[in-house]
């Protein structure tokens, strides 16, 4: 049982918006995070998408596209597809348009909320949401919107992160202590679920979806270059040490020490570390 301390209760009452991690999402460290994560995850993830056996000329929606790392890869994977990436952060959208303008007009970016998409019902063949559901409250509402805009027989493709699926070797600190407590406290404070990866199956069932599959991309020190994996954790450290210190019992110094030890573990030629990334697919009946 996790007891919520008074600071968390106070912070939780103050959360009223639908993007409680807006500051972290807008930080430059998030650009580095999404870049490194895409480089680590996409080689395995793309093989899972190919299993859907989708035609090239489909309509794809990328919900919470950020600076366009996933949207651009989807546009390249499906050379005749119409891809729309949506996000609420103009800075991310501007970066996406500047970087991937060569893929326009097939690839477009618009400011839209995941809670109220402007698309008509059944407008897309494939609706994608990568690295989003853990960062927002009410993921069931966001998934219901994605179901609404996906045609019958179309698919949802999700990466719902779960911070209980990170594994590092113990040294002077035990990373299990950090990954057990910090995500739980942080989630309580921001009204988000940082263990959403294990809960999304039930949400999709409640929404009436079929053909639900859960696979895992293994980001580890064997399958992924160590420096790419280390870059992910470095970006997390740079973007989240402050809010972890604000919302949990860990001080800034303590949180940084945990992250630094994990980075050293990854870079150690004899070290092993792994992040199990859920990749979820479901069909709209």
DSSP for 189-205, please give it: HHT--TTGGGTHHHHHH
pLDDT tens digits for range 14-28? 334 798 988 898 899
| Domains of the chain by residue range | 6-283
Is pLDDT at 10 greater than 60 in this prediction? no
Is pLDDT at 1 greater than 60 in this prediction? no
- Report pLDDT for 22: 86
Tell me what percent of the residues of the chain surpass a pLDDT of 90.
91
Q: If phi over 0 gives left and psi between -120 and 50 gives alpha, with beta otherwise, what is residue 68?
A: left
Q: If phi over 0 gives left and psi between -120 and 50 gives alpha, with beta otherwise, what is residue 24?
A: alpha
β-strands 274-283, 166-167 pairing: antiparallel
Report the CATH number of the 6-283 domain: 3.40.50.150
pLDDT tens digits for range 32-86? 999 999 999 999 999 999 999 999 999 999 999 999 999 999 999 999 999 999 9
Q: How far is Cα 221 from Cα 276, in angstroms, rounded to an integer?
A: 12
Tell me what percent of the residues of the chain surpass a pLDDT of 70.
94
pLDDT tens digits for range 133-175? 999 999 999 999 999 999 999 999 999 999 999 999 999 999 9
- Report pLDDT for 17: 76
């Amino acid at each position: 049982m996790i007891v919520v301390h008074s600071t968390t209760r106070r912070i939780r009452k103050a959360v009223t918006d639908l993007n409680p991690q807006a500051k972290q999402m807008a930080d430059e460290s998030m650009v580095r995070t999404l870049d490194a994560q895409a480089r680590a995850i996409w080689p395995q993830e793309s093989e899972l998408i190919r299993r859907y056996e989708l035609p090239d000329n489909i309509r794809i929606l990328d919900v919470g596209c950020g600076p366009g790392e996933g949207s651009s890869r989807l546009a390249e994977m499906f050379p005749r597809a119409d891809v729309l990436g949506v996000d609420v952060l103009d800075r991310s959208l501007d970066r996406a348009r500047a970087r991937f303008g060569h893929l326009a007009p097939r690839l477009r970016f618009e400011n839209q909320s995941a809670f109220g998409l402007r698309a008509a019902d059944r407008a897309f063949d494939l609706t994608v949401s990568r690295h989003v559901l853990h960062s927002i409250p009410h993921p069931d509402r966001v998934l219901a919107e994605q179901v609404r805009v996906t045609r019958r027989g179309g698919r949802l493709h999700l990466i719902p992160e779960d911070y209980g699926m990170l594994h590092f070797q113990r040294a002077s600190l035990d990373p299990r202590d950090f990954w057990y407590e910090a995500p739980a406290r942080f989630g309580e404070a921001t009204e988000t679920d940082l263990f959403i990866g294990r809960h999304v199956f039930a949400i999709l069932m409640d929404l009436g979806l079929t053909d639900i599959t859960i696979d895992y991309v293994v980001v580890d020190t064997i399958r992924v270059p160590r420096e790419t994996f280390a870059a992910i954790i470095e970006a997390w450290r740079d973007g989240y040490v402050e809010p972890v210190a604000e919302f949990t019992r860990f001080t800034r110094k303590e949180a940084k020490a945990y992250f630094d030890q994990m980075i050293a573990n990854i870079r150690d030629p004899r070290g092993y570390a792994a992040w199990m990334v859920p990749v979820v697919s479901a069909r709209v009946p």
